[in-house]
Structure 1
Amino acid sequence: MSIALLLGGTSEHGNVQHRYLAGRFLEQFGEKVDCIISARPKSDPISVRLRRMIKRGHYRERLARAIYGAGYGPSDEHLQPLLLPGESSARMPGGDRHFIVDSHNGSDCEVLLDQYKPDVIVVYGTAIIKSNIFSRAQRITLNMHTGLSPYYRGDSTLFWPVYYDDPSKLGVTVHELVESVDGGAIAATAQVVYEPGDSEANLFAKGVMAGTDIYLRAVQQALDGTLICTPQDLSAGREFRWMHRTVAAERQVLSNLQTWART
C-alpha cells in the first residue's frame, strides 16, 4: 500500500499548512508515504504578468488592495504558532522522498506517479489537478478542501461563512478529486467551531487541523477498501474565486468577527 502527497504553496517547500499536513501523514503512515511532490512556483516575466493583469482587469480593486496593505488571507507568520509552534525549519519534511516538479500537471509529475504507482493520491492546496494526474491513483485521489462542501466551494471558504454570518457552515471537507472544482463525492466533513476572539487565521488553522484528522482516517479507509463517498448536491451552495475576496469583503469579515465576539 502506498501514498503520494501532492502539496501546493507559495514556495517549493509549501507553506505552514502544507508542511503540517505532510508531517502528520509521515507520522501516521511512515514508509507508506512514497513521495511528497511540490510544484516550483512560477516566475513569469514582467511583460507576461502585465498582460495577464490587463486581461483580468479589476483595476479599482487592485488599487484598493495596494492602499489597504494587508495580504490575501492568513500568512505563514500568523499560522506558524498555531500549527507548528516551535518549528524553525521552513523545509518540507520527508527528506529524499520530497520531489519538486515544474507543475503538478506536467510530465515530470506523471513520471513520478508512474514510478511509485500510489494506491491513494493525497492533494492539498495545489492548482487545479487535471485528469492526467488524478487518474494515476490505483484506488482513489482525494483532496482536502478547507470549506464545508457543498455549501462553500472554491477559494477562501472559511472566510465566506463569516462574511455571510453563517457560523454553522464553518467546516472542512475531504472529497474525491474530479474535474469539477471541489465537486467530487464527499469522503468526510468536520465542523470548525468559532470561539470568541478567533481571527481568520485561528479559524483556518482549526480547519487545517480538523481536516487533517479526517483526511488521515479517510486515507486509511481507502487503503483498507472501506471508504464510502457520498455524491454532492452542487445546487446547494456557492463557488468562489480569488477576485470575489475584495477589500470591502475583508472589512466586513473583520466587522462580523467583532460582532460574533460580543455575542
Structure 2
Amino acid sequence: MQTSRKARVVALLGHDIQHRGTLATLVESGVDVVGVCFSDERTGGLPIRYIRRSIFKRGTFKVLSQIVARMVYKLRNRKRDAKLKAEIFERHRIESVLSDASFEEMHCIGFGAPEVLDFVAGLSPDILVVHTGSWVPKTMREIESVKYVVGGHPGLTPHYRGAHSPFWAIYNGHPEEIGWTAFLVDSGVDTGPVVAQGRIRPEPGDTYMALSWRGMTCIAKAQAEAIRVFEETGRIQSVPHGRIPANSEYLVPTLGEQLAFWFRGSGVR
C-alpha cells in the first residue's frame, strides 16, 4: 500500500545538541516534522529523579560509586569529549537547519502529562520518532493516529541494551560488537523489533561517549530512511528478537568497572 501524502511526524527528544542533531537530520532528509516535544527531567542541571530511582533499585553504595566514576571520567575526558562532540554535532549547521524549519514545539518534564499527550494527539502524527532519555509511556505510544514509534539505541540490541553500550562491548572483550540499532519502541528497554543496525569501528582518540554519539547520527539517518519507506509502502519493516538474553541490560559503570576499563588499554578512553 502506498501512502497518498507525506507522513506526519512528531519527534520526542531530549534537551542536548545530539537530540537537536537528530531533529536536523530528519528535517534535512525531507521528513515532515509537524511537532517536537523536548523533555528535560533534570533539576538544576542534575538528574535528581533518576538518581533517586537508582538508589531505590540498586542501593546507595552502588549509585555513589557510579556517580564518582562519572566524575572521574569527566576529569579525564572533558576536553576531549567537548572537541569530539563539536565535530560530530556541528552546532552552527544544526541550528541553521532548524531555524529554517517550521513545526509546533513544546517543552516538558517527561512525556506522560495530559497536556503533553493532548499536544501530540492534536497534531495527528502517523509516526513518533524518539531520541530521549525520558520514558515514552504506553499512553503516548497508543495515540490513535500513531502507526509506528521509531526509536534507537547506540548499541547492538538485544545483547547490549541500557547504558553506555560501547563501554560494555569493550569491557567484555567484544569491540566488534560496538554499534547502533534503530527499532520500533515497545514496553521494554531497547527491546523492540529491529528496523536497522550497524557496527562502528573506534577511531584513534575516541572515547566511549563519542562512540555512542557516532551511533546516534547513524540512527537518525536510519529513522529518516524508515519514514521514507513508510511513505512509499505504508509499512516499516522490522525484525523482532527471538528472545532477549539474560543480563543484556547494562547499567552505568561503577568506579571499579571504569578503572578496569582503562587499565585494560583498549585504546578507547
Please say if residues 34 and 102 of structure 2, whose CA atoms lie closer than 8 Å, have aligned partners that are also in contact: no
Secondary structure at the counterpart of residue 266 of structure 2: helix
Please say if residues 192 and 241 of structure 2, whose CA atoms lie closer than 8 Å, have aligned partners that are also in contact: yes
Corresponding position of 1:11 = none
How far is the alpha carbon of 1:102 from its aligned partner? 2.9
Corresponding position of 1:34 = 34
Corresponding position of 1:18 = 19
Secondary structure at the counterpart of residue 202 of structure 2: coil
Please say if residues 135 and 141 of structure 1, whose CA atoms lie closer than 8 Å, have aligned partners that are also in contact: no
Instruction: Answer yes or no: is 1:3 the counterpart of 2:9.
Output: yes
How far is the alpha carbon of 1:174 from its aligned partner? 0.8
How far is the alpha carbon of 1:40 from its aligned partner? 3.5
How far is the alpha carbon of 1:97 from its aligned partner? 2.7
Q: 1:36 to 1:51 in 2, by over 3 A?
A: closer
Corresponding position of 2:3 = none
Corresponding position of 2:205 = 197
Corresponding position of 2:191 = 183
Corresponding position of 1:115 = 122
Equivalent in 78, 82, 85 of residue 77 of structure 1: 82
In 1: Cα distance, 2:188 partner to 2:17 partner: 27
Q: 1:252 to 1:222 in 2, by over 3 A?
A: farther
Which residues in structure 2 correspond to 1:145-160 (within 5 Å)?
145-160=153-168
- Amino acid of the structure 2 residue aligned with 1:133: M
Which residues in structure 2 correspond to 1:52-63 (within 5 Å)?
55=56, 56-59=58-61, 62=64
- Amino acid of the structure 1 residue aligned with 2:60: H
Q: 1:118 to 1:236 in 2, by over 3 A?
A: same
Please say if residues 176 and 187 of structure 1, whose CA atoms lie closer than 8 Å, have aligned partners that are also in contact: yes
Higher relative contact order (CA 8 A, sep 6+): 2
How far is the alpha carbon of 1:239 from its aligned partner? 3.0
Corresponding position of 1:239 = 248
The number of equivalent residue pairs is 251
How far is the alpha carbon of 1:235 from its aligned partner? 3.6
In 1: Cα distance, 2:201 partner to 2:53 partner: 39
Corresponding position of 1:105 = 112
How far is the alpha carbon of 1:164 from its aligned partner? 0.7
Secondary structure at the counterpart of residue 159 of structure 1: helix
Please say if residues 108 and 116 of structure 2, whose CA atoms lie closer than 8 Å, have aligned partners that are also in contact: yes
In 1: Cα distance, 2:75 partner to 2:164 partner: 9
Instruction: Answer yes or no: is 1:220 the counterpart of 2:231.
Output: no
Secondary structure at the counterpart of residue 234 of structure 1: coil
TM-score (norm 2): 0.79
How far is the alpha carbon of 1:23 from its aligned partner? 0.9
TM-score (norm 1): 0.81
Q: Structure 1 regions of 5+ residues with no counterpart?
A: 9-13
In 1: Cα distance, 2:52 partner to 2:225 partner: 44
In 1: Cα distance, 2:11 partner to 2:185 partner: 13
Q: Percent identity?
A: 19
Secondary structure at the counterpart of residue 256 of structure 2: helix
Please say if residues 117 and 140 of structure 2, whose CA atoms lie closer than 8 Å, have aligned partners that are also in contact: yes
Please say if residues 74 and 201 of structure 1, whose CA atoms lie closer than 8 Å, have aligned partners that are also in contact: no
In 2: Cα distance, 1:209 partner to 1:232 partner: 23
Which residues in structure 2 correspond to 1:132-151 (within 5 Å)?
132-136=139-143, 137-151=145-159
Higher deviation after alignment, 98-107 or 48-57: 48-57
Please say if residues 16 and 83 of structure 1, whose CA atoms lie closer than 8 Å, have aligned partners that are also in contact: no
Quote the RMSD (CA, aligned, Å).
3.3
How far is the alpha carbon of 1:213 from its aligned partner? 2.0
In 1: Cα distance, 2:52 partner to 2:235 partner: 49
In 2: Cα distance, 1:81 partner to 1:245 partner: 25
Please say if residues 55 and 63 of structure 2, whose CA atoms lie closer than 8 Å, have aligned partners that are also in contact: no
Instruction: Answer yes or no: is 1:252 the counterpart of 2:255.
Output: no
